């Protein structure tokens, strides 16, 4: 194999690919990235067997071929090279000579024979979502995914394409983030339901970082295939039963409180500074026209802050995990948020004021 590529384009393509590779895998080949040169392009593919990412870029191909190289080391090398043309030349002993202006490297490669292959990318129904919309849906749900591997079904994002709407939902058992949007006319007619690992969706955010174009989603057996322009993401779906989230969202809440988002976010950041390492409840004392926020650390002291609210109901005290609320606030675009609460022990709904399409259900904590 003998190719020449532009350094900036190569680094941009390699970055997301090497990020899915697991260095500490039992199989050495899985710590590598596969470089394949065709007639006028080169493709880069990395995988940990659960998530795989392939990126393609234009190249001057002098001699087609394929080689695998250490993903992390290759990335560390090329990102330090000057902004010029990089030349890759592979010899018969799988030694790769890398040169760029006055910089020269030699890296030991492995044959591609044992490297996993991409699944069939053709056939089956597909779902088309605008990249900007898909990225926004992920931003509003990913923070609620569970990191507890013993609750395997909660370690991913549920994506549902129904005839009239698209749903995305995530939960860790203590809070649930749900976004519903009307199904775009251009999305196709296929329905699908997929429970997608968090790692895959984190990488999908990078794929959809450009706010132009569409993201194509296809299911193939137990795998999800996501494509945008020259990038393809493949993820093994989670084999588990996601909870019936419709039962979690309260159907009626008697108390509605409207608060300016930045005022609440700032108050929580300041009062949480005294919290320390332990997760202790932050007390919310709702009164007519104001909210008193209190955080107490038995070892350090306490913090209090008052926030103006729109509320005319009876006085009500509740405890919440402040981090859960701050992560919700970080995903909301509106200037005001609405809290729908019932009592100190029932789930509460947090929404952008005037928008019922995006909800975050948070369980209160005992105070």
Quote the CA–CA distance of 282 and 305 in Å, as a whole number: 11
Of 89, 114, 139, the position where a domain reaches its end is 114
- The four Cα atoms 183, 335, 131, 74 give a dihedral, to 10 degrees, of -150
* Residue 109 pLDDT class (50, 70, 90 cuts): very high
Core vs surface per residue 205-233: b (16+ CB within 10 A) or e: eebbeeeeebbbbbbeeebbbbbbeebbb
Say which range, 127-136, 152-161, 209-218, 340-349, has the weakest mean pLDDT. Answer: 209-218
Of 246, 271, 301, the position where a domain reaches its end is 246
Q: What's the rounded mean pLDDT across residues 138-166?
A: 93
Same domain as 283, residue 296: yes
Average pLDDT over the chain reads: 91
Q: What's the rounded mean pLDDT across residues 122-151?
A: 88
Q: Where are the beta strands (DSSP E) in 14-84?
A: 32-37, 41-47, 51-58, 60-63, 65-70
Residue 120 in any domain: the answer is no
Same domain as 137, residue 105: no
Res 340 pLDDT > 70: yes
Q: What pLDDT is attached to residue 189?
A: 76
Residue 40 in any domain: the answer is yes
Q: What pLDDT is attached to residue 210?
A: 66
Sign of the CA dihedral 293, 299, 300, 301?
positive
Res 221 pLDDT > 90: no
Res 346 pLDDT > 90: yes
Same domain as 235, residue 287: no
Quote the CA–CA distance of 320 and 362 in Å, as a whole number: 8
Q: What pLDDT is attached to residue 176?
A: 97
Same domain as 152, residue 65: no
Q: What's the rounded mean pLDDT across residues 92-120?
A: 91
Same domain as 280, residue 253: yes
Q: What's the rounded mean pLDDT across residues 143-155?
A: 93
Q: What pLDDT is attached to residue 190?
A: 79
Res 63 pLDDT > 70: yes
Q: What pLDDT is attached to residue 184?
A: 82
Same domain as 189, residue 226: yes
Residue 317: φ, ψ to 5°: -115, 135
pLDDT, tens digit (0-9, with 9 covering 90-100), for 13-35: 999 999 999 777 678 889 999 99
Residue 147 in any domain: the answer is yes
Same domain as 293, residue 238: no
Q: What pLDDT is attached to residue 219?
A: 83
Say which range, 151-160, 187-196, 261-270, has the weakest mean pLDDT. Answer: 187-196
Quote the CA–CA distance of 181 and 354 in Å, as a whole number: 14
Give one DSSP letter per residue of 213-248, joined into a string: SEEEEEEETTEEEEEETTEEEEEEPP-S----GGGT
* Structural domain for 44, as ranges: 2-114
Q: By CB neighbour count within 10 A (0-12 exposed, 13-18 middle, 19+ buried), where does 286 fall?
A: buried
Bin 124: left if φ > 0, else alpha if -120 < ψ < 50, else beta: left
Residue 119 in any domain: the answer is no
Res 124 pLDDT > 70: no
Same domain as 185, residue 132: yes
Q: Tell me how many domains the chain contains.
A: 3
User: CATH number, domain at 270?
Assistant: 3.10.150.10
The CA-based angle 56-62-65, given to 5 degrees, is 60
pTM: 0.87
């Amino acid at each position: 194999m003998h190719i020449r590529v532009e350094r900036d384009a190569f680094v941009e393509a390699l970055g997301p690919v090497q990020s899915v590779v697991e260095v500490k895998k039992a199989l050495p080949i899985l710590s590598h990235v596969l470089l394949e040169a065709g007639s006028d392009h080169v493709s880069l593919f990395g995988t940990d067997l659960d998530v795989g990412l392939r990126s393609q870029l234009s190249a001057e191909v002098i001699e087609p071929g394929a080689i695998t190289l250490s993903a992390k080391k290759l990335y560390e090398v090329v990102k330090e090279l000057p902004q010029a043309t990089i030349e890759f030349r592979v010899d018969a002993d799988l030694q790769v000579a890398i040169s760029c202006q006055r910089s020269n490297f030699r890296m030991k490669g492995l044959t591609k024979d044992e490297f996993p292959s991409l699944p069939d990318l053709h056939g089956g129904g597909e779902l088309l979502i605008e990249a900007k919309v898909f990225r926004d849906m992920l931003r509003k749900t990913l923070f609620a995914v569970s990191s507890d591997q013993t609750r395997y079904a909660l370690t991913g994002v549920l994506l549902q394409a129904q005839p009239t709407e698209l749903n995305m939902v995530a939960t860790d058992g203590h809070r649930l983030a749900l976004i519903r949007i009307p199904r775009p006319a251009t999305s196709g007619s296929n329905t699908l339901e997929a429970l997608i690992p968090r790692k895959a969706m984190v990488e999908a955010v990078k794929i959809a970082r450009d706010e132009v174009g569409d993201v194509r989603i296809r299911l193939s057996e137990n795998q999800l295939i996501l494509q945008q322009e020259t990038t393809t993401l493949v993820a093994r779906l989670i084999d588990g039963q996601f909870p019936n989230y419709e039962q979690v969202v309260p159907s009626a809440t008697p108390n509605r409180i409207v608060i300016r988002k930045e005022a609440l976010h700032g108050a929580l950041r300041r009062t949480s500074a005294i919290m320390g390492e332990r997760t202790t409840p932050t007390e919310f004392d709702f009164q007519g026209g104001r909210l008193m926020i209190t955080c107490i650390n038995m070892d350090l002291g306490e913090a209090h802050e008052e926030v103006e609210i729109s509320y005319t109901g009876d006085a009500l005290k509740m405890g919440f995990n402040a981090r859960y609320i701050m992560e919700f606030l970080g995903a909301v675009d509106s200037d005001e948020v609405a809290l729908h609460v019932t009592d100190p022990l029932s789930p509460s709904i947090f929404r952008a004021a005037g928008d019922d399409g995006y909800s975050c259900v948070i369980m209160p904590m005992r105070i």
